[in-house]
Structure 1
Amino acid sequence: MAVYSKDEALMCKVFPSSLGPVAMRWFDGLKVDSIGSFKEFTRAFDFRFITCTRVPRPLDSLLSLSMREGESLKAYSNKYWETYNEIDGDFDDVTISTFKSSLPTKHGLRKSLTGKPITSLCQLMDRIDKYKRVKEDQQLGKRKAKVIPQEMRDFRSD
């Protein structure tokens, strides 16, 4: 539609094809000649459907997050990045320090981030992913270690 944005009559005719059922009912309910321009039409539409707009979350919603006892790093980091994506603005430094300080004091990742500081969100995400992979590998190794002795006992009994 951007190509035809100068032709208001055409925009008014084409716009309804982009509406869902609820907005279409509203559109069909408009009185004839109640709107004089496409700009007026978009204002009326915005006013009617303002509840569907995304309101950015404040920065303090990110600052108030912390990893709960027993919560996995994967679950916490997913929640953290969801919240981060709902905040408007460039707060990379705050985001990095907040993520680190929201981890438990004795958490291995927090120690890693303190020992080898990072300077970008990409580095933070990489470090989180590496830490998660190491933990998953360690857990997989423990499961295998528990299985192998049992298999050895089974083998010796034959």
Structure 2
Amino acid sequence: MSEVLNHISKSPFTRKIEDAKLPRRFNQPMFTIYNGRTDPVEHVSHFNQRMAVHSKDEALMCKVFPSSLGPVAMRWFDGLRAGSIDSFRGLTQAFGSHFITYSRVPRPLDSLLSLSIQDGETLKTYSDKYWEKYNEIDGDFDDIAISTFNSGLPTEHGLR
């Protein structure tokens, strides 16, 4: 147990980051805690938005980031080699590389073509399902989205 505690007490940050003084009146924002099973890019993006005012302060960004990590991600952080992180970019790249299997993969455009309103399904339910899937597609396909939405409706439907 003491060996494990000794290892996690060693900072993965370089001396430059460790020795940097933090702002006197820094109030840490509340973060969504990363559980190790969601998109790491989305987590870093959320973190960056919360810390936008301080984004130029590398040391602060590095020192605060671990407070946004849950138990699984903290085990990863605690396992980083002492002195191996010298920038926020390096930290987030290491984080993203480790949790890459949970990265969101954009859906292909043709996933919209497989959607159609089911028997007994309301227009609202179909619409919610369709637009949720549409929002998972990267790119600007508004014109195609409307036509595939309509083609998923029965021929006799008034919207079609």
TM > 0.5 between the two? Answer: yes
**Structure 2 residue 139 is matched with structure 1 residue 102:** no
Once the two structures are superposed, residues 38-89 of structure 1 have per-residue CA deviations (whole angstroms, 9 ceiling, x without a partner) of 2222111110112332222111111221122332222211211111111122
| Match 2:134 to one of 84, 97, 108 | 84
Please identify the structure whose Cα radius of gyration is greater: 1
Offset of 1:27 from its aligned partner? 0.8
Q: Structure 2: which 5+ residue stretches go unaligned?
A: 1-50
Question: 1:73 maps to what in 2?
Answer: 123
Structure 2 residue identity aligned to 1:69: D
Number of the residue aligned with 1:35 = 85
Aligned match of 1:113: none
| Mapping 1:35-74, distance limit 5 Å | 35-74=85-124
State, as a whole percentage, how many aligned pairs show the same letter.
76
More off after superposition, 83-92 vs 31-40: 31-40
Instruction: Look up the equivalent residue of 1:9 and give its one-letter code.
Output: A
Report the Cα offset of residue 109 of structure 1: 2.7
After TM superposition, the score normalised by the length of structure 1 is: 0.61
Paired position in structure 2 for 1:93: 143
Question: Which residue of 2 is the match for residue 114 of structure 1?
Answer: none
User: 1:24 corresponds to which residue?
Assistant: 74
Q: Cα deviation per residue 1:74-114 (whole Å; 9 max; x = unaligned)?
A: 2211211111111122211111111111111122332xxxx
Paired residue total: 110
Task: State the TM-score, normalizing by the size of structure 2.
Answer: 0.61
Any gaps of 5 or more consecutive residues in structure 1? Answer: 111-158
What secondary structure does 1:31 align onto?
A: coil
- Superposed CA RMSD in Å reads 1.8
User: What SS does the aligned partner of 2:67 have?
Assistant: helix
1:129-158 Cα deviation digits (max 9, x unpaired)? xxxxxxxxxxxxxxxxxxxxxxxxxxxxxx
Q: Secondary structure at the match of 2:159?
A: helix
